[in-house]
């Protein structure tokens, strides 16, 4: 646990943080004014209101905020004759304890836990906490810590799943790029060999050029195979040819039951990059599969592809019922992989509900496929 890093990308401050502060400060003031049994009213009010802003930094500086709260609350009895600050509003400290184990590093969590245990032990030593209070304090504190740990590792597990999906999509894209480049480079090698076979009737410069083409083509093929072997984690290469945009028509008859699929292709797709064509097919296939699985009461699925001089636009929509909750997460990680593939090719992919009925997936990809 000591070496556990912080979770990536903690949000600094969101609107909920400001709303929480905006609710707690008036609540503390009202408690200080209206609560009849509040000891040391002014000091309790000042301490409570002064510590509320620590919530704004609970994700980016969780250990510092916890240390400030415990230091202030431990020092407050010096000004109250030994009485601790006991306002109901101070319950927000549990949010700080949760944030420490949700957003802090392992080192920060261990140090923060040590600080909390030290403060509790000192309170017991000086008689500020009785035995029932100690049990309750530990129960509440450990509940907040356990909740932070649970949400931390739940979010970590989802991030690992997303990374796995993106990695698999990168491997598939690498395969498609390999197949495309290998085809063209193989043609270069064959032409170079043919040129060498007829070099006797050609100028000497042509022979030298053909030798260079053959050497470069062979070297490129070797480098591409090595790269794909690394990306595939040394798994055997898949020999089946990849799908392309010309195979979209097969989606219309790919299932005998369920909603019908209509495919419409417009525009010139003659010189479309093979990697873009494969991506368009994969996104359309995944979208159609998800619509058949998750679109309740759907009767038809429309697949539309339109190409212009610079880009290719894919739109897949259904007329299913939107009463049930549908989201990218609910239909699995397939669409997340498609979003990753579109981004790698320099395009975009979005999915969401229609204003009336149904669900639509839209992808826009550049014709050249600017892979990154």
**Residue 236's pLDDT is what?**
46
**Residue 364's pLDDT is what?**
92
Q: Is 321 helix (H, G, I), strand (E, B) or coil?
A: strand
**Residue 147: is it exposed, middle or buried by C-beta count within 10 angstroms (0-12/13-18/19+)?**
middle
Question: Final residue of a domain: which of 129, 145, 174?
Answer: 129
Q: What is the pLDDT averaged over residues 183-209?
A: 70
More confident residue, 111 or 276: 111
> Do 31 and 122 sit in the same domain of this protein?
yes
Q: What is the pLDDT averaged over residues 274-289?
A: 84
Above 60 in pLDDT, residue 72? yes
Of 29-33, 138-142, 187-191, 254-258, give the lowest mean pLDDT range.
Answer: 254-258
> Do 168 and 88 sit in the same domain of this protein?
no
Cβ-based neighbours of 360, under 8 Å, separated by 6 or more? 315, 316, 317, 351, 352, 353, 354
Torsion over CA of 217, 221, 223 and 224, rounded to 10 degrees?
Answer: 130
**Residue 237's pLDDT is what?**
42
Above 80 in pLDDT, residue 200? no
Residue 330 CB coordination number (10 Å): 10
Does residue 71 fall inside a structural domain? yes
Does residue 50 fall inside a structural domain? yes
Does residue 9 fall inside a structural domain? no
> Do 185 and 114 sit in the same domain of this protein?
no
Above 80 in pLDDT, residue 223? no
Residue 250 Cα distances to 49, 80, 202, 247, 309, angstroms: 66, 80, 48, 6, 26
Indicate the number of domains in the chain.
3
Above 70 in pLDDT, residue 370? no
**Residue 111's pLDDT is what?**
92
**Residue 229's pLDDT is what?**
55
Evaluate the CA torsion angle 157, 158, 163, 168 in order and state its sign. Answer: positive
More confident residue, 127 or 350: 350
> Do 226 and 249 sit in the same domain of this protein?
no
Does residue 42 fall inside a structural domain? yes
Above 70 in pLDDT, residue 230? no
Question: Final residue of a domain: which of 110, 129, 148?
Answer: 129
Residue 360 CB coordination number (10 Å): 17
> Do 225 and 253 sit in the same domain of this protein?
no
**Residue 322's pLDDT is what?**
67
> Do 286 and 321 sit in the same domain of this protein?
yes
Q: What are phi and psi of 240, to 5 degrees?
A: -70, 140
Q: Confidence band (pLDDT; 50, 70, 90) for 332? A: low
CATH number, domain with residue 251: 3.30.565.10
Q: In what order do the strands lie in the sheet with 260-266?
A: 260-266, 300-307, 311-318, 359-366, 348-353
> Do 123 and 31 sit in the same domain of this protein?
yes
> Do 171 and 121 sit in the same domain of this protein?
no
Ranges assigned E (strand) in the chain: 260-266, 300-307, 311-318, 348-353, 359-366
Above 90 in pLDDT, residue 214? no
Does residue 143 fall inside a structural domain? no
Q: Confidence band (pLDDT; 50, 70, 90) for 26? A: very high
**Residue 177's pLDDT is what?**
65
**Residue 368's pLDDT is what?**
73
Q: What is the pLDDT averaged over residues 323-350?
A: 70
> Do 284 and 180 sit in the same domain of this protein?
no
> Do 256 and 357 sit in the same domain of this protein?
yes
Structural domain for 187, as ranges? 162-231
Above 60 in pLDDT, residue 324? no
Does residue 173 fall inside a structural domain? yes
**Residue 225's pLDDT is what?**
64
More confident residue, 284 or 296: 284
Contact 296, 324 (CB under 8 A): yes
Q: What is the pLDDT averaged over residues 301-318?
A: 90
Best-predicted range by mean pLDDT among 36-50, 212-226, 332-346?
Answer: 36-50
Q: Confidence band (pLDDT; 50, 70, 90) for 371? A: very low
112, 120, 115, 111: which is closest to 140 by C-alpha? Answer: 120
Question: Final residue of a domain: which of 105, 129, 153?
Answer: 129
Does residue 323 fall inside a structural domain? yes
> Do 362 and 251 sit in the same domain of this protein?
yes
> Do 222 and 256 sit in the same domain of this protein?
no
Tokens of 134: 């100690």
The whole-angstrom separation of Cα 194 and Cα 191 is 5
The whole-angstrom separation of Cα 59 and Cα 103 is 6
Does residue 147 fall inside a structural domain? no
């Amino acid at each position: 646990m000591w070496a556990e890093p912080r979770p990536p990308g903690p949000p600094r401050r969101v609107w909920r943080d400001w709303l929480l502060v905006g609710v707690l400060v008036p609540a503390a003031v009202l408690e200080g004014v209206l609560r009849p049994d509040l000891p040391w009213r002014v000091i309790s009010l000042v301490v409570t209101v002064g510590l509320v802003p620590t919530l704004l930094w609970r994700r980016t500086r969780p250990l510092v905020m916890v240390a400030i709260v415990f230091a202030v609350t431990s020092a407050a009895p010096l000004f109250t004759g030994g009485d601790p600050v006991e306002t109901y509003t101070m319950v927000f400290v549990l949010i700080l304890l949760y944030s420490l184990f949700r957003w802090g590093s392992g080192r920060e969590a261990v140090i923060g836990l040590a600080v909390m245990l030290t403060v509790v032990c000192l309170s017991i030593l000086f008689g500020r906490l009785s035995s029932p209070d100690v049990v309750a304090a530990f129960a509440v504190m450990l509940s907040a810590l356990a909740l932070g740990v649970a949400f931390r590792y739940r979010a970590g597990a989802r991030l690992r799943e997303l990374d796995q999906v993106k990695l698999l999509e990168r491997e598939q894209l690498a395969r498609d790029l390999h197949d495309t480049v290998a085809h063209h480079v193989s043609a270069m090698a064959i032409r170079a060999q043919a040129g060498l076979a007829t070099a006797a009737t050609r100028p000497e410069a042509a022979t030298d050029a053909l030798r260079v083409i053959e050497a470069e083509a062979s070297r490129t093929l070797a480098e591409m195979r090595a790269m794909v072997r690394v990306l595939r984690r040394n798994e055997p290469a898949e020999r089946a040819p990849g799908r392309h945009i010309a195979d979209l028509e097969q989606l219309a008859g790919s299932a005998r039951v369920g909603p019908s699929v209509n495919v419409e292709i417009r525009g010139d797709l003659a010189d479309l990059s093979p990697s873009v064509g494969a991506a368009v097919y994969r996104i359309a296939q995944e979208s159609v599969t998800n619509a058949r699985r998750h679109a309740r009461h759907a009767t038809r699925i429309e697949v539309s592809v339109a190409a212009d001089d610079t880009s290719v636009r894919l739109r897949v929509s259904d007329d299913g019922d939107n009463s049930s909750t549908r989201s990218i997460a609910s239909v699995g990680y397939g669409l997340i992989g498609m979003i990753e593939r579109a981004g790698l090719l320099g395009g975009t992919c979005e999915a969401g509900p229609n204003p009336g009925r149904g669900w639509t997936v839209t992808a826009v990809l550049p014709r050249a496929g600017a892979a990154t």
